[in-house]
Amino acid sequence: LVERCCQQLTAEPLLAGVKLLLTAGPTREALDPVRYISNHSSGKMGFALAAAAAELGAAVTLVTGPVNLPTPVGVRRIDVESALQMHEAVMSRIGECDLFIGCAAVADYRPAQVASQKIKKTGDNDQMALSLVKNPDIIAAVGALSDKPFTVGFAAETVDVEQYALDKLRRKRLDMIAANDVSRAGQGFNADDNALTVFWQGGQAALPLADKLTLARHLVALIARHYRP
Ligand code: C5P
């Protein structure tokens, strides 16, 4: 609490008056009433970014998939489950925001059909095929808007991190992308620590391994320096 108060009182309000919309956590794609497809995202990085931006004076709205984390002080939280719900929650609010950070690990595909009753195991069925359809790419939809907010994405990669990150920056029309190497033990998905390399048109910065709140403070300060209203 003392640390939080000191941070709040000493942090320069670089984002005062700025409206930030942020996605965090995984999405859950239902198969039937009791099963779903998801991923290992804990939401820790997105929640740390929401806290760090609020410390700098931003008005933060956090759209989050199912996570087990407390809402950061002063942050407005909207809970969703599926990628379609997250897409709707973001697109209905995007016109009101100045900055958008897509930190959620959105499922790329969802089951083509959601069974209304629990899918049963049958004696003669040793295999089961699932048919999946593509989910909307939320951050790409934001990047495609004619008056898009300053948009920051994430790239979680296991190989060729820089190449894939730069490709996403261009393809999704992002202003910045923060890349992390999720193949390294103890950082990235579900871990408490992380390291990032941030790319933008004509520049890059390495943010070394640190706990996610420290890293989030560095990243939000970097974003604040590049953001031009
Ligand atoms: O292409 P990839 O999914 O790896 O890109 C990751 C970035 O795109 C993240 O910022 C993530 O939040 C965003 N994303 C999204 N909607 C999707 C898939 C990814 O907003 N359906």
Tens digit of each residue's pLDDT (9 = 90 or more) over 12-51: 789 999 999 999 999 999 999 999 999 999 999 999 999 9
156 CA distance to ligand 1 centroid (A)? Answer: 9
The Cα 157–Cα 22 span in angstroms is 20
Two structure tokens written together for 149? 């907010």
Does 155 contact ligand 1 (Cβ within 6 A)?
yes
Q: Determine which helix (DSSP H) or strand (DSSP E) holds 86, and give its type and residue range.
A: helix 83-91
Q: What number of CA atoms fall less than 13 Å from residue 131's CA on the CB side?
A: 4
Quick check: CB of 139 below 6 Å from ligand 1? yes
Average pLDDT value for the chain: 93
Pocket test residue of 88, 137, 150, 168 for ligand 1, highest count of atoms within 8 A of CB: 137
75 Cβ closer than 6 Å to some ligand 1 atom:
no
**CA distance linking residue 22 with residue 143, whole number of Å:** 14
Q: Please tell me if the CB atom of residue 135 comes closer than 6 angstroms to any atom of ligand 1.
A: yes
CA angle 115, 63, 204 (to 5 degrees): 120
What's the rounded mean pLDDT across residues 93-109?
97
Q: What is the pTM (predicted TM-score) of this model?
A: 0.93
Asked if pLDDT for residue 191 goes beyond 90, the answer is no
Question: Which among 28, 38, 106 is the best mutation to test ligand 1's pocket, defined by most ligand atoms within 8 Å of the CB?
Answer: 106
Q: How many CB atoms lie within 10 A of CB 156?
A: 19
Checking if the pLDDT of 229 tops 70, the result is: no
Region 206-217: what's the mean pLDDT?
94
Averaged pLDDT for residues 95-118: 97
